[in-house]
């Protein structure tokens, strides 16, 4: 009985994610450990395995780990779900703030040749690859929801959304897909 109680259930369970063959598809990203790091980027550098990017709006990734610049002293750190305690230990005792937001948000992967067009239904940023190249990330808005958007490939984005907004974001993208031609 106990094993059933502690089973992890995604907020997206039971929702139909928008997808159209060969055009665009939205899938849930692998569950991850997530942290917000606030402080001097030099303090955590080696311990996390990736030097935190100090160029605005840049993300660095290596394997399952990624560091996303969100502000001049703020980064979103992603790691495999099993590595949460390892990442927390990397900052222990240092004068910086590390907040576990692993269960606050949920990741979505948006991919396909029309991924940018689908996101632009609610995101006012210019997502042309010349303006928003691979490796760029930022906090922005998608319709009424605040999201973190990261371009992981020419035709693929990772989106981090608050879990309470997940049904809204999915419903919005399903609706927006009707407006995507081709």
Q: What is the distance between the alpha carbons of residues 134 and 61, in angstroms, rounded to a whole number?
A: 12
> Nearest distance from residue 1's CB to other proteins, in Å?
43
| 70 or 159: CB nearest other proteins | 70
| 125 or 134: CB nearest other proteins | 125
Q: Tokens in use for 164?
A: 């309470």
Q: Tokens in use for 125?
A: 């940023």
Contacts with other proteins, residue ranges (CB under 8 A) = 56-57, 70-72, 74, 124-125, 138-141, 146
Cβ contacts of 42 within 8 Å, gap of 6 or more = none
> Nearest distance from residue 180's CB to other proteins, in Å?
21
Instruction: Check: CB of residue 36 under 8 Å from CB of residue 74.
Output: yes
| 90 or 176: CB nearest other proteins | 176
Please, what sign has the CA dihedral across residues 37, 148, 169, 87? negative
| 46 or 128: CB nearest other proteins | 128
> Nearest distance from residue 56's CB to other proteins, in Å?
5
Strands (DSSP E) found in the chain: 19-20, 24-28, 32-38, 59-62, 65-71, 74-80, 97-100, 105-111, 137-142, 145-153, 156-162
Q: What is the distance between the alpha carbons of residues 50 and 45, in angstroms, rounded to a whole number?
A: 6
Q: What is the DSSP letter of 41?
A: H
> Nearest distance from residue 125's CB to other proteins, in Å?
7
> Nearest distance from residue 53's CB to other proteins, in Å?
13
């Amino acid at each position: 009985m106990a094993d059933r109680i502690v089973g992890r259930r995604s907020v997206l369970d039971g929702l139909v994610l928008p997808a159209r063959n060969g055009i665009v598809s939205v899938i849930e990203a692998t569950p991850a450990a997530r942290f917000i790091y606030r402080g001097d980027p030099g303090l955590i550098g080696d311990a996390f395995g990736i030097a935190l990017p100090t160029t605005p709006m840049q993300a660095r990734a290596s394997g399952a780990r990624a560091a996303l610049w969100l502000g001049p002293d703020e980064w979103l750190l992603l790691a495999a779900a099993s590595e949460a305690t390892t990442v927390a230990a990397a900052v222990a005792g240092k004068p910086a703030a590390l907040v576990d937001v692993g269960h606050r948000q949920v990741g979505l992967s948006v991919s396909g040749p029309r991924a940018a067009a689908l996101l632009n239904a609610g995101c006012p940023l210019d997502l042309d690859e010349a303006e928003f190249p691979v490796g760029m990330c930022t906090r922005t808005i998608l319709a009424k929801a605040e999201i973190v958007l990261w371009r992981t490939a020419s035709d693929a984005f990772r989106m981090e959304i608050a879990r309470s907004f997940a049904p809204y974001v999915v419903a919005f993208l399903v609706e927006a897909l009707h407006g995507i031609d081709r």
